[in-house]
Structure 1
Amino acid sequence: MASSLAMASPSMVLKEKSRPRTVSVTTDEFAPDQIVVKFKATADDSEIEQKIVNDGDGKVYESPYEKVKVLKIPLGTSLKQAMQRYRGDNRVEYVKRDYVMKATMVPTDPYYSLQWNFFNSTYGGINMPAAWDKSSGQGVVTAVVDTGVAYENYGTKYAQAPDLAGVNFIPGWDFINNDSHPNDDDGHGTHVTGTIAQSTNNGIGTAGIAYNASIMPVKVLDQNGNGSYVQVADGIRYAADHGAKIINMSLGGTVPDTYLEDAVRYAYNKGVTIIAASGNDGAAAVDYPAAYNAYVIAVGATRYDEQKAYYSNSGSALDITAPGGDDTVDQNGDGYIDGILQQTFAPPKYKVFNYYFYTGTSMATPHVSGVAALILARNSTFTPAQVRNFIQSTAEDHGPPGWDADYGWGIVDANAAVPNLSISLNSDGQVNLGTIALGATTSTPPGSE
């Protein structure tokens, strides 16, 4: 575990930011071509049937308990027109939109019940089940700039982590060994990757947030979790030049550096959303590169009870918080420390995998990267500024109202941050399908018609 940054001269060193330890229903949409009509109890059944036929509507469902019918409106008729037809009939008690309910997804992964960070009945975690109904991060290329990833069977030394077998990997680079095989020899990058995109619904192990995202491993830290600022900066540029839409950096250093800042600026200007750890020193200042606030989303850590973790750095550059855990407590009473659970290995046994609880801002950061992937999968044209806005403006506020130095804008809420596929009505009553921009509203409030 690296809770503090060691600086070496003349080459500055970045360290991983982790603290390793072993050990409903949504109603976001309605059917655009269906309405619900409740007829009065006194209405004649034959007259009701005749009206439906005359209006050209089709019956989708009728209740055996009340005179309630779900009707499919004919092509060329707007939702508003259809509703007005029935509103003007004195045999009708009410007419409304046909809202659609969806069962929230619960992964089949057996250790999902230990992932309090994704969801728990007391505090809610980051509210993943409802978010999974909207997005799985399909195809969003996310670079894990770290110690590498156990992503491939390579030679006699390295093996793919079994619970990453379903992940789509994009070719990356190893800036420590200068080759095209960025395999993990520390365990940190593999754990981070699991939170972002662990194989999910595969009946083994744990779940990942954006399990259909594509992962680009970029190794910039060595087997001790250390790397120079130059290597990290070059890893950032590599990811930006090779198609990454998100860069996750669960690492940091305490001093600024021009070459590093130039790299994050370069990636940001290429449309990459950059997310980095605030640091584990309990300090009143955020580490670099997270502190480059114009380009990077800085992530602090919280505990099971949604209080700031004791080690999490604060400061004016902090943007958001996410679960990072606390290895000193078991607040949820599950018999384990309140860490973030994912599959990795304990070096030097690079091919022996188990599930480990890690804690730290390193573990908080991939929660936000995963949510960013869910957002971009909904609309790949979103800019880094828009992704930041979705995440920050929908966060669950903690501490003083609004932004504060301990929580930033609050704890990331995956379901709130991922935009809905929304339906709105124009003034002419025509139905529009599409993603509503943050802050926009439908022209008619849900349920008002």
Structure 2
Amino acid sequence: MSTVLLGALVACGAPEEVSPTPEPMGRAQQALEPSDPLFNSQRWHYELIRAPQAWNLTQGFRTTSIAVLDSGQTQHPDLINKWLEGYDFVEGRFNTTDVGTYHHGTHVAGTLAASANNGLGGVGVCPGCLLVPVRIAQAGGSISAGAPGANDPLTTVMARGIYYAAGYAVNDGAGNVVQASARASVINISLGNLPAPCPADLQAAVNAAVAAGVPVVVAAGNRDSAMPTSNFANYLWGACQNVISVAAVNEKSDYESYSAQGPGVTIGAPGGDEYRTSPYAKTGEAGFGALIGCTDPEETRGIGTHGVVSSWTTSQGVHCYRHWAGTSMAAPHVAGTIGLMRTRNPSLTPAQIKTVLTSTGRWVIPCTGPVCPPKTLDAHAAVSASLFDITLSCRSVQGGGGFNCEVRKTGGLAPFTGAWTAVEPSRILPMDLTRTDTARGVCTPGTDTTASVTITDALGRAQTRSSTFRCFPIQ
């Protein structure tokens, strides 16, 4: 068995990160809109997840990479400087070119990380991030007869791709052991419209990725002739543990009717509709929508203009854009958001990321039950919560003998807890000892004193600050 070690990842000229000041809680949530010509066509799905507000915090950076386990890559101009080295587990080779005519991976990659403000097409959720192409199947999940990957189930090829993206050495099924020189920041899998159960080798790969600190984002699945049920528990990813599963929802936070749904779905994100030409109309179709900027003589569908708009390459190799609908389109909204989160805070664990996503998600129209869809992704709230910091200021009150302190939080995930102390003989008033915003105390007039606070957020992240001040004499 030969051993092939991949070379160093090459950062291929990705755009520089926008580095705004972190957003204090309560500040106006400003939106940062890109100049890309198709952003207006993307507006409905990016405004639904509040991506423009998230971009005011960060647009990602080239140190953050998203592994795209899909049909391979094309040289689309909106993605040309995005691709790092990857591997093709279908053919057993380093060339990850999508050799088919149905370029599913190109559309997914565009939603993840298409460049911003470059005068071309649209923009991705994490436009500053880079992409690791991991080819695990042809579009739709098929593997051509005769390819090395065809000797094994699709789920086994998926497992190999997950190990690879998470930085492990793995047998590619063709007699080679391959290993990336760096693990990805997050994995996106918009394939797997297969029935339960979850095979042991696939579950082991997911568990290994999570243990290595790499979250695995998956498309929940589409109801179709092969999977006529909408019950998520009957789908492959509904039976796997430790994944972040994404259903397709519309502007009202309702499930798109083609989406797998039910308990176990982690979060909802916009998936679009193949035939819809206006918001809210529900026809329940996943698949191709209208092409933008090109034609394709092999296309017989494609009238919908309310799908997710992203990069596309036609069967003739023409690069353009298109509307497309499905949970495959919903998942990269979440993986791209995780890219933004990990740009701000690379130390976030997969468990913390999942908690942030579910805690900060929202229903556009509140759900009154008894059965509710998953909350819709709120990229701005999730990215804001990815960092946590506080400042503390204390000052003596006019007249002397007392003081007031104020805490200002940046980011973090509610609920918060507080613990106050003061250097004796000064003291914090008993009723304020556990407050998380302000505290009052008494101090010895004419002396310097110090008050301290520790604020802990829902993820267990504790920040401690102290403030020293002069206690005014009593007048």
TM range (shorter): 0.5 to 0.7
The answer to whether the 8 A contact 1:399-1:406 is kept is no
Q: Which residue of 1 aligns with 2:451?
A: none
Q: Which residue of 1 aligns with 2:380?
A: 415
- Closer, same or farther in 2 for the Cα pair 1:224/1:385, shift >3 Å? closer
1:223-262 alignment to 2 at 5 Å?
225-227=141-143, 228-241=154-167, 242=180, 243-252=183-192, 253-256=194-197, 257-262=199-204
> Which of 328, 335, 346 matches 1:380?
346
Structure 2, gaps ≥5 residues long: 1-19, 144-153, 168-179, 224-228, 281-289, 291-302, 395-404, 419-434, 441-475
1:127 aligns with 2:77: no
SS at match of 2:133: strand
Paired with 1:324 and 1:376, the residues of 2 have a C-alpha distance of 23
Read off the aligned partner of 1:132 and give its amino acid letter.
Answer: W
What is the Cα-based RMSD across aligned positions, in Å? Answer: 3.2
Q: Which residue of 2 aligns with 1:109?
A: 36
1:171-320 alignment to 2 at 5 Å?
171-184=85-98, 185=100, 186-222=102-138, 225-227=141-143, 228-241=154-167, 242=180, 243-252=183-192, 253-256=194-197, 257-281=199-223, 283-286=230-233, 289-292=236-239, 294-320=241-267
* Alpha-carbon shift at residue 116 of structure 1 (Å): 3.3
- Closer, same or farther in 2 for the Cα pair 1:192/1:292, shift >3 Å? same
The answer to whether the 8 A contact 2:203-2:240 is kept is no
Q: Which residue of 1 aligns with 2:59?
A: 136
1:340 aligns with 2:308: yes
Provide, for residues 299-344 of structure 1, a one-character-per-residue CA deviation record: whole Å limited to 9, x for no partner: 1001244321110011322111100011232224999521111111
- Higher relative contact order (Cα pairs below 8 Å, separated by 6+ residues): 1
1:3-42 alignment to 2 at 5 Å?
29=23
* Alpha-carbon shift at residue 268 of structure 1 (Å): 1.1
SS at match of 1:110: coil
- Closer, same or farther in 2 for the Cα pair 1:407/1:214, shift >3 Å? same
* Alpha-carbon shift at residue 419 of structure 1 (Å): 2.0
Read off the aligned partner of 2:222 and give its amino acid letter.
Answer: N
* Alpha-carbon shift at residue 432 of structure 1 (Å): 8.4
Provide, for residues 275-302 of structure 1, a one-character-per-residue CA deviation record: whole Å limited to 9, x for no partner: 1011111511246552255310111001
SS at match of 1:234: helix
Paired with 1:376 and 1:363, the residues of 2 have a C-alpha distance of 21
How many equivalent pairs are there? 338
Provide, for residues 392-431 of structure 1, a one-character-per-residue CA deviation record: whole Å limited to 9, x for no partner: 11111368859987622x1101111112566533475698
Paired with 2:34 and 2:259, the residues of 1 have a C-alpha distance of 30
Provide the TM-score with structure 1 as the length reference: 0.68
Q: Which residue of 1 aligns with 2:332?
A: 366
* Alpha-carbon shift at residue 100 of structure 1 (Å): 7.1
Paired with 1:319 and 1:337, the residues of 2 have a C-alpha distance of 27
Q: Percent identity?
A: 32
The answer to whether the 8 A contact 1:116-1:304 is kept is no
The answer to whether the 8 A contact 2:251-2:364 is kept is no
1:423-434 alignment to 2 at 5 Å?
424-426=390-392
- Closer, same or farther in 2 for the Cα pair 1:403/1:332, shift >3 Å? closer
- Closer, same or farther in 2 for the Cα pair 1:125/1:179, shift >3 Å? same
1:327 aligns with 2:327: no
The answer to whether the 8 A contact 1:318-1:405 is kept is no
Read off the aligned partner of 2:327 and give its amino acid letter.
Answer: T
Read off the aligned partner of 1:384 and give its amino acid letter.
Answer: P
* Alpha-carbon shift at residue 182 of structure 1 (Å): 1.1
Paired with 1:263 and 1:208, the residues of 2 have a C-alpha distance of 27
The answer to whether the 8 A contact 2:252-2:365 is kept is no
1:146 aligns with 2:109: no
* Alpha-carbon shift at residue 206 of structure 1 (Å): 0.4
Paired with 1:198 and 1:445, the residues of 2 have a C-alpha distance of 40
- Closer, same or farther in 2 for the Cα pair 1:387/1:289, shift >3 Å? farther
Of 294-303 and 334-343, deviating more is 334-343
Paired with 2:382 and 2:70, the residues of 1 have a C-alpha distance of 26
The answer to whether the 8 A contact 1:173-1:179 is kept is yes
Paired with 1:367 and 1:411, the residues of 2 have a C-alpha distance of 11
Q: Which residue of 2 aligns with 1:396?
A: 362
Paired with 1:234 and 1:412, the residues of 2 have a C-alpha distance of 29
Provide, for residues 89-123 of structure 1, a one-character-per-residue CA deviation record: whole Å limited to 9, x for no partner: xxxxxxxxxx976852111101100013444xxxx
SS at match of 1:419: helix
- Closer, same or farther in 2 for the Cα pair 1:441/1:206, shift >3 Å? farther
SS at match of 1:418: helix
Q: Which residue of 2 aligns with 1:439?
A: 415
- Closer, same or farther in 2 for the Cα pair 1:292/1:400, shift >3 Å? farther
SS at match of 2:57: coil
Read off the aligned partner of 2:337 and give its amino acid letter.
Answer: V
SS at match of 1:231: helix
Provide, for residues 181-206 of structure 1, a one-character-per-residue CA deviation record: whole Å limited to 9, x for no partner: 11123310110010010111111100
The answer to whether the 8 A contact 2:196-2:237 is kept is no
Provide the TM-score with structure 2 as the length reference: 0.64
Provide, for residues 207-230 of structure 1, a one-character-per-residue CA deviation record: whole Å limited to 9, x for no partner: 110011121000001256425111
